[in-house]
């Protein structure tokens, strides 16, 4: 099978090998196990730091420019590039046996249009954003969702989405992602919720993840006399802003920025933490929430995308409003009930440990072999 991936995610060269953002590579390595020949059409440059990992099965790469519409100048430049990109995608699709779209994104949107011309080819699309039809999203995202779910325009495709939204077309398949294997399943340590409480944040330190709000909530709990600490793992454009805030407000004794760290370091942190705090404005399947739950760490998060499904309301985690005073009030109510927290931790790990890499691998195999 000649397998084509159409994606915004940049494919970069590292030590004479093709590499990309590590969590994306880990997923695609599973897809690539079941195909003979892999081609990726994507941008091949990126001007920010990425946690890179090489693909196990090295792909052929078709380089296309990125599309950026953040200013008038680069919008004009990107508009001129679109015909070239569409032609490149069309030629790649013509040579492929299976077309795999990674959405949402500008390249994914072009792929959505081009795939209409290939109704007989088998196709999959991974929509990694919020599939909720009521979510506030850019017009381009809504357009991708409309094309993918339109079974007249989009034929012979299974669209993998996060969550189980009602009233979907027959080609929409609720899906998940995974980080840990069956061999990593273990009984979570029994936490003591009556003394010091350790919070962790894992993710890009960018505005959409609201890391500053996470810091301010833990700061507010500390001011109330709670024995709390927060460890933040991840890098991004807000790193310097967060460093200044921690320094200017003398928070360094209990709030630490660790930057990007290896998977095992983050894994160890999740095993020991009491709470994960992730207050994203938008998510698809927030992988780190499932990772934290795997080890019994209770997620504190916002009610977006499939979070209510993952947490089964507030049974397996704590859902808060993204505002300091109300968030602190909700957290205080939760931590005052130690028995409830212990049950929440147990239910969280029981649920998350159902979604292992082996289960994910088996589902990918079924998709590619139409079982």
* Residues 332, 189 share a domain: yes
CA distance 352 to 360: 12
Chain centroid, CA 27 distance in Å: 11
What band does 304 get if pLDDT is binned at 50, 70 and 90?
confident
Q: How far is CA 232 from CA 26, 32, 269, 286, in A?
A: 23, 33, 10, 16
Structure confidence by residue, pLDDT tens digits, 166-204: 778 999 999 998 999 999 999 999 999 999 999 999 999
Tell me: do 97 and 77 sit in the same domain. yes
User: Are 194 and 271 in a shared domain?
Assistant: yes
pLDDT score for 349: 97
- pLDDT (0 to 100) of residue 57: 97
Which tokens sit at 136?
A: 């506030």
- Spatial neighbors of 29 by CB under 8 A, at least 6 apart, are 55, 56, 57
Say if residue 308's pLDDT is above 60: yes
| pLDDT at residue 371 greater than cutoff 70 | no
22 plus 147 within the same structural domain: yes
Q: Answer with the residue of higher pLDDT: 75 or 220.
A: 220
Do 31 and 104 belong to one domain? yes
Give yes or no: residues 123 and 12 share one domain: yes
> In terms of DSSP H, where are the helices of the chain?
22-32, 72-95, 106-115, 139-149, 211-223, 239-248, 263-272, 287-294, 307-311, 324-335, 338-352, 357-369
Q: Which two tokens stand for residue 108?
A: 């994914």
pLDDT of residue 130: 86
Number of folded domains that form the chain? 2
Q: Which element (helix H / strand E) includes 229? A: strand 228-233
Looking at the fold, whether 187 and 164 belong to one and the same domain comes out as no
Per-residue pLDDT tens digits for 333-360: 999 999 999 999 999 999 999 999 999 9
Per the structure, the complete domain to which residue 67 belongs is given by 2-178+357-369
CATH number at residue 192: 3.40.50.2000
Residues 86 and 190 in one domain: no
- pLDDT at 100 (0 to 100): 98
Q: What is the CATH number of the domain that holds 19?
A: 3.40.50
Alpha helices in 33-186 (DSSP H): 72-95, 106-115, 139-149
Residue 211 token pair: 């890391």
291 in the same domain as 174: no
Q: Does the structure show a pLDDT above 60 at 138?
A: yes
Measured CA to CA, the distance from residue 219 to residue 252 in angstroms comes to 11
Q: Which residues contact 314 (CB under 8 A, 6 or more apart)?
A: none
Q: Sorting pLDDT into bands at 50, 70 and 90, what band is 284?
A: confident
Give residue 48's pLDDT band: very low, low, confident or very high (50, 70, 90): confident
pTM of the model: 0.87
Do 247 and 173 sit in the same domain of this protein? no
**Average pLDDT in the 267-277 region?**
97
C-beta separation of 100 from 125 below 8 A: yes
Query: Do residues 34 and 168 both lie within one domain?
Result: yes
Query: For the residues 309-335, what does the mean pLDDT come to?
Result: 95
What CA–CA distances, in Å, run from 176 to 49, 276, 298, 369?
A: 27, 19, 19, 18
Residues whose CB falls within 8 Å of the CB of residue 323, separated by 6 or more in sequence, listed in order: none
pLDDT of residue 73: 85
Order of strands across the sheet with 275-278?
A: 255-259, 228-233, 197-202, 275-278, 298-301, 318-319
Calpha distance 10→337 (Å, rounded): 46
- Mean pLDDT for the stretch of residues 92-113: 97
> Which residues, 6+ apart, have CB-to-CB distance to 256 below 8 Å?
229, 230, 231, 232
Q: For residue 156, is it left (φ>0), alpha (ψ between -120 and 50) or beta? A: left
Are 26 and 132 members of one domain?
yes
């Amino acid at each position: 099978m000649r397998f084509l991936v159409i994606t915004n995610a940049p494919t970069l060269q590292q030590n004479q090998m093709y590499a990309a953002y590590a969590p994306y590579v880990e997923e695609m390595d599973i897809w690539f196990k079941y195909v003979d020949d892999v081609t990726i059409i994507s941008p091949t440059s990126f001007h920010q730091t990425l946690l890179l990992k090489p693909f196990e099965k090295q792909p052929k790469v078709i380089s296309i420019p990125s599309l950026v519409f953040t200013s008038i100048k680069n919008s004009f430049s990107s508009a001129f590039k679109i015909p070239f990109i569409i032609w490149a995608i069309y030629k790649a699709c013509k040579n492929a046996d299976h077309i795999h779209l990674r959405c949402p994104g500008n390249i994914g949107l072009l792929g959505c249009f081009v795939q209409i011309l290939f109704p007989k080819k088998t196709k999959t699309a991974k929509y990694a954003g919020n599939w909720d039809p009521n979510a506030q999203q850019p017009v381009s995202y809504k357009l991708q969702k409309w094309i993918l779910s339109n079974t007249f325009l989009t034929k012979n495709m299974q669209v993998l989405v996060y969550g189980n939204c009602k009233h979907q077309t027959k080609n929409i398949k609720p899906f998940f992602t995974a980080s840990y294997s069956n061999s990593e399943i273990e009984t979570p340590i029994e936490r003591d919720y009556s003394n010091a409480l350790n919070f962790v944040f894992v993710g890009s330190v960018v505005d959409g993840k609201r890391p500053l709000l996470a810091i301010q909530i833990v700061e507010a709990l500390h001011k109330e006399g709670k024995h709390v600490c927060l460890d933040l793992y991840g890098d991004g454009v807000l790193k310097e802003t967060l460093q200044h805030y921690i320094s200017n407000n003398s928070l360094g004794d209990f709030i630490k920025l660790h930057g990007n760290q290896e998977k095992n370091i983050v894994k160890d942190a999740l095993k020991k933490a009491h709470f994960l705090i992730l207050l994203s404005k938008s998510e698809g399947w927030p992988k780190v929430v499932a990772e934290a739950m795997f080890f019994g760490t209770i997620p504190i998060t916002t009610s977006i995308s499939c979070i209510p499904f993952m947490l089964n309301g507030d049974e397996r985690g704590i859902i808060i409003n993204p505002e300091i005073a109300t968030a602190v009030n909700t957290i205080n109510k939760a931590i005052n009930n130690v028995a409830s927290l212990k049950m929440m931790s147990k239910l969280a790990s029981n649920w998350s440990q159902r979604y292992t890499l082996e289960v994910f691998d088996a589902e990918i195999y079924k998709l590619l072999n139409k079982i």
